[in-house]
Amino acid sequence: MNFAADFAGILLGGLAAGTVLFIVSVGLSVTMGLMGFVNLAHGAFAMFGGYIVVLAMNRAHFGFAVALALGFIATAALSVVLERFLYRRLYRAGELDQVLFTIGLIFIFIASMTIVVGPESQTLQLPPALGGQLNLGFIQYRTYSIFLIVVGFAIALGIWLTFERTRIGGQIRATVDNRRMAESLGINVDRLFTITFAFGSGMAAIGGGLGAEFLGLDPQYPLKYLVYFLIVVSVGGLGSVIGVYYAALILGVLDFVLTLYLPKGGTIFIYVLTILILLARPQGLFGRKEL
Amino acid sequence: MSAAVSPAGEASVAAGIDNPAARVLMQRHRFRWWEALPWIAAIVSYFAFPDYLGFGTDLLVTILFALSLDLALGYAGIITLGHAAFFGAGAYTVGMLASYNIWTEPITSLLLAALAAAAIGVLSGLVLLRTKGLTLLMLTLCTMALLEQAANMAHAYTGGFDGLPSLPIAPVFGVFEFNPLYADTQYLFALGVLLVCFLFVRTLVYSPFGQSLTGIRENVLRMHAIGSPVRRRLIVCYAISAALAGIAGGLWAQTNAYVNLSTLGLDRAATVLIVLILGGYGRLYGAFIGAVVYLALEHFLAQIYPTAWQLGLGLLLVLIALFARNGILGLGETLWRRYRAKRTAP
């Protein structure tokens, strides 16, 4: 293969991974922006959704799309229950309590998954239409990666339009900018938060399902990728869809390149870059609000 | 002289002060009888449970590590997710010095470990402690991950993922050898180190410096307003905390005779946070209670039912975050106060 094709291949692989990171993290960014809640357990929702998707396909033989929808609904429902009964009590608590609480949730998710499904890694069988190679003219590449990139772009566009053009999007932006003012203008922040929390968790579930094929899916998932989700959100900026999209794509490509060329410890550059960005811009690349 | 009329006693006379605030501080600093209990328990355990000295050594190291975190988190209110960075720095300092036969004397090795960790603490503190909240959390996490990957990258020196095995450690005082089969020396050495470090921390938190840290935690604006050099105080506190964590890490490397990447990982950082908060932070003895409860549960439950242990731990954390934010000690204090109130009530 020549250099250009190599380069394109790496770029596409990285973009596909970044897309999954975006789909998982976007909800976390919005909910953290709204409430300032440090939710380390967001990856647990991605794992839960991923398991629903994989099990629905492998055991109940649903189609990929149906399984994804099922994962979205089940995870969103679960997250509403948790938000109503548990998260809600800690909105006014300090970060330390929130960290502790969400670490506890992660452990509960990990243990429950191990008990119910088992400690082994789950494999996702892609539908045949997405399994092969696609000829892009200048390069042959995996159909699934292209599919992910396209889907991710559509989702990003959809969420961005919702943010910029709809009433609820305006309410979310207003609340992220100034919660007290938004509340006194009559925006029901509690309800807004429940809706975005459920939607964000549902998106995480879809991300978990879409990424299961190459990120793997086992009970340790929420801890394994925790740092990456947090980096995407903090670098992108709280409550900023575009920021999270860019940050996720950059992180995906960087991680892909570094693990390819520097398999031992190459990811050090990701951490250095994150530290530098956060020191220069504590609100993230596109954020309007200090973390 | 006011000595004859002063009820505060000789201590305040020596310092030439007599006012209620000084008296309260002095009183808090005074040793109480029950403060001897942990040390008596440690010595009794040495004779009573000779088969568990390895476990006991782990326990002492964990207490020291949690104590170091208590200084930063409990007293100064620096919320960090990356305290294992300093533990690992200390462990690798001791480990690499021993592995390449540069320096194997245990006590001075620990001092070097403290210096190395403190240096990292000052350097990272200079930049990190400008931030707060989630940014600070992320930056401490990333600093630790960065060190972990650096240790992984420099595998020619650090052994990479496999670490450095069978470290040669010189006998303590040139006499007492570290025996991998019988942990007698390790246990007593760790106990001695912990005692020295604890007395240091105890003196520190009751000193004016420690009081100003508490002030920064409680109301940073007011501390700025009264002219306290907030950032310098925080950096110094972070460096001292790092040095103590480094000693704990070095001690871990010495008593286990190896060092690996697990000393730098998120697992260790999360565990020490859990231990401290379980016991109760900002209380000195929270580290002791938390470490004993956590390690005992882990030791006896996790071996048999690892999944149930994780589930139970998760539930415990959720319950603490929701209902018992001051940990076991805080819970005990509340119950004790209620009991006292009931007894004194008519």
Contact B310 A107 (CB under 8 A): yes
Last residue of a domain, one of A163, A193, A219: A219
Per-residue DSSP letter, B73: I
Q: Which residues pair with B172 in a beta bridge?
A: B176
Q: How far apart are CA B255 and CA B327, in angstroms?
A: 29
Contact B155 A114 (CB under 8 A): no
Contact B317 A101 (CB under 8 A): yes
In a domain, A3, yes or no: no
Query: What's the pLDDT score for residue A289?
Result: 61
Both A165 and A137 in one domain: the answer is yes
Both tokens of B156, joined, read: 């020619």
Both A232 and A183 in one domain: the answer is no
In a domain, A288, yes or no: yes
A residues 13..72 contacting B (CB < 8 A): 32, 36, 38
In a domain, B44, yes or no: no
Q: How many domains does chain A contain in total?
A: 2
Rounded to a whole number of angstroms, the distance from the CA of A38 to the nearest CA of chain B is 7
In a domain, A140, yes or no: yes
Q: How many domains does chain B contain in total?
A: 1
Task: Spell out the residues 6+ positions from residue B92 whose beta carbon is closer than 8 angstroms to its own.
Answer: B151, B158, B249, B253, B259, B263, B264
Query: What's the pLDDT score for residue B6?
Result: 41
Both A242 and A182 in one domain: the answer is no
- The interface predicted TM-score (ipTM) is 0.86
Q: Is A279 in CB contact (< 8 Å) with chain B?
A: yes
Contact A90 B79 (CB under 8 A): no
Range of the domain at A189: 41-219
The CA distances from residue A192 to A41, A157, A186, B250, B288, in Å, are 20, 21, 12, 50, 43
Query: What's the pLDDT score for residue B124?
Result: 92
Last residue of a domain, one of A219, A237, A262: A219
Both A260 and A186 in one domain: the answer is no
In a domain, A120, yes or no: yes
Both A97 and A239 in one domain: the answer is no
Range of the domain at B164: 50-265
pLDDT at A106 over 80: yes
Q: Is A115 in CB contact (< 8 Å) with chain B?
A: yes
Question: What's the mean pLDDT in A62-81?
Answer: 93
The tens-digit pLDDT sequence of chain B (346 residues) is: 333 444 444 444 455 567 787 777 777 777 888 888 888 888 888 888 888 888 889 999 999 999 999 999 989 889 898 999 999 999 999 999 988 888 888 888 999 999 999 999 999 999 888 888 888 888 999 999 999 989 988 888 888 778 888 778 877 787 777 777 777 788 889 999 999 999 999 999 988 888 888 888 888 888 888 888 888 999 999 999 999 999 999 999 998 888 998 889 888 999 999 999 888 888 889 999 999 999 988 888 877 788 888 888 899 889 988 887 788 888 888 888 888 888 776 5
Query: What's the pLDDT score for residue A42?
Result: 92
In a domain, B150, yes or no: yes
In a domain, A26, yes or no: no
Both A76 and A178 in one domain: the answer is yes
A1: pLDDT confidence band, cut at 50, 70 and 90? low
Contact A264 B145 (CB under 8 A): no
**Tell me: the pLDDT tens digits for A207-230?**
999 988 888 888 988 988 888 999
Asked whether the beta carbons of B84 and B144 are under 8 A apart, the reply is yes
Asked whether the beta carbons of B212 and B223 are under 8 A apart, the reply is yes
Q: Which residue bears the tokens 């929701």?
A: B322
In a domain, A106, yes or no: yes
B141 CB neighbours in chain A (<8 A) are 227, 230
Both A179 and A48 in one domain: the answer is yes
DSSP track, B197-237: HHHHHHHHHHSHHHHHHHHHHH-HHHHHHTT--HHHHHHHH
In a domain, B55, yes or no: yes
Both A114 and A175 in one domain: the answer is yes
Both A77 and A49 in one domain: the answer is yes
Rounded to a whole number of angstroms, the distance from the CA of B130 to the nearest CA of chain A is 9
Please tell me the pTM assigned to this model.
Answer: 0.88
Q: How far apart are CA A232 and CA A24, in angstroms?
A: 10
B residues 110..129 contacting A (CB < 8 A): 127
Q: Is B270 in CB contact (< 8 Å) with chain A?
A: yes
Closest A-chain CA to B266: A223
Closest CA to B192 of B207, B179, B206, B176: B176
In a domain, A53, yes or no: yes
Tell which of A230, A275, A289 to mutate to test the B interface (max B CBs under 10 Å).
A275
Q: How far apart are CA B295 and CA A29, in angstroms?
A: 35
A residues 124..153 contacting B (CB < 8 A): none
Rounded to a whole number of angstroms, the distance from the CA of A58 to the nearest CA of chain B is 25
Last residue of a domain, one of A173, A188, A219: A219
Both A121 and A204 in one domain: the answer is yes
Both A99 and A192 in one domain: the answer is yes
In a domain, A266, yes or no: yes
The residue with greater pLDDT, A268 or A1, is A268
Contact B307 A111 (CB under 8 A): yes
Both A206 and A232 in one domain: the answer is no
Contact B142 A111 (CB under 8 A): no
In a domain, B271, yes or no: no
